[in-house]
């Protein structure tokens, strides 16, 4: 994919690396699959901030995405590849042979005019959704169901893909993009291929204003605040007072494990995710 650049007439344009919309074939969305998306600005029903650093974004509309892929045995043709402001991946508009239209997360190398299908008897090709029992070992998959019938929730962001490592008994061994290996039932559905917009990690907003358009407000360091506003606030100069790094609500940072050790799904994790090297 060709990288887009801009003339450095300002500091914001100098460092701006926009996404490439080469694969996108239509700007407007399908009206029957689009609805109004309200903005809360991080406030609850009483008008009080419950999620900080939110607010001020441009208006959006929500596209209804088919994560279940439960229309089996009927082929669908890819009509358009579209941009979705609510996710990092592109989405594809499918038109089924019976006339129904649905959006799906577009896999990489899926183009307009291609045919896709879902069901246990579907061919193993990009964009087709099959149960894990029918997918060959080593295949790259995305939009994976954690529980059969509830819709795909794993590996849905731009450029992501999991890999089917093994099948044992009623479960399949899936290696996640994080390096974690997890057991998922063989009758759960997944989509063949890798998620589109692979070059999303090379995008640079270039300026703070572009983050404000997305609804992200500035984050102030805790040590720069007063003691009444943050556990790490107060002190003279740049001193943090020797306090352990925490969040605004007092949750420890840097090494504190937030996962519940008694969580029921922990028994399905074969291998934990790989740790990032520091420095």
192: β partners: 141
Residue 66 maps to which CATH number?
2.40.50.140
Residue 191 lies in a domain: yes
Q: How many domains does the chain have?
A: 1
Angle made by CA atoms 191, 60, 28, in degrees to the nearest 5: 70
Instruction: Output phi, psi for 213, to 5 deg.
Output: -65, -30
- Asked whether residue 60 is domain-assigned, the answer is yes
Share of the chain above pLDDT 90, in %: 78
- Please indicate, yes or no, if residue 70 is contained in any of the structural domains: yes
Mean pLDDT in each 10-residue stretch from start to end of the chain (279 residues)? 75 90 94 94 94 93 96 96 96 96 96 96 96 96 96 96 96 95 96 95 93 95 90 83 83 88 91 72
Domain annotation covers residue 102: yes
For residue 9, being part of any structural domain is answered with no
Q: Answer whether residue 233 is part of any domain.
A: no
In a domain, residue 216? The reply is no
Q: Give the model confidence (pLDDT) of 101-136 as tens digits.
A: 999 999 999 999 999 999 999 999 999 999 999 999
> How many other C-beta atoms lie within 10 A of the C-beta of residue 64?
13
Residue ranges making up the domain that contains 79: 20-200
Distance CA 56, CA 39 (A): 9
């Amino acid at each position: 994919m060709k990288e887009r650049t801009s003339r450095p007439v300002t500091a914001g344009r100098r460092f701006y690396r926009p996404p490439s919309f080469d694969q996108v074939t239509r700007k407007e969305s399908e009206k029957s699959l689009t609805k109004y998306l309200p903005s809360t600005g991080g406030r609850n029903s009483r008008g009080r901030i419950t999620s900080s650093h939110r607010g001020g974004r441009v208006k959006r509309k929500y596209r209804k995405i088919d994560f279940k892929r439960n229309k089996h045995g009927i082929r669908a043709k890819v009509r358009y590849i579209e941009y979705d402001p609510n996710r990092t991946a592109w989405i594809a508009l499918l038109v089924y042979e019976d006339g129904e239209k649905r959006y799906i997360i577009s896999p990489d190398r899926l183009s307009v005019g291609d045919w896709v299908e879902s069901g246990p008897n579907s061919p193993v090709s990009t964009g087709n959704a099959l149960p894990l029992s029918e997918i060959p070992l080593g295949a790259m998959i995305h939009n994976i169901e954690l529980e059969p019938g509830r819709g795909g929730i794993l590996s849905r962001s731009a450029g992501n893909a999991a890999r089917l490592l093994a099948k044992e008994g009623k479960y399949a061994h899936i290696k996640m993009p994080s390096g974690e290996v997890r057991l998922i039932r063989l009758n759960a559905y997944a989509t063949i291929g890798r998620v589109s917009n692979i070059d999303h990690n090379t995008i640079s907003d270039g300026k703070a204003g572009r983050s404000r358009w997305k609804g992200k407000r500035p984050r102030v360091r805790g040590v720069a605040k007063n003691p009444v506003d943050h556990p790490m606030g107060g002190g003279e100069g740049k001193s943090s007072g020797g306090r352990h790094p925490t969040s605004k609500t007092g949750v420890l940072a840097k090494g504190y494990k937030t996962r519940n050790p008694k969580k029921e799904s922990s028994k399905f994790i074969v291998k934990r995710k790989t740790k990032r090297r520091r420095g």
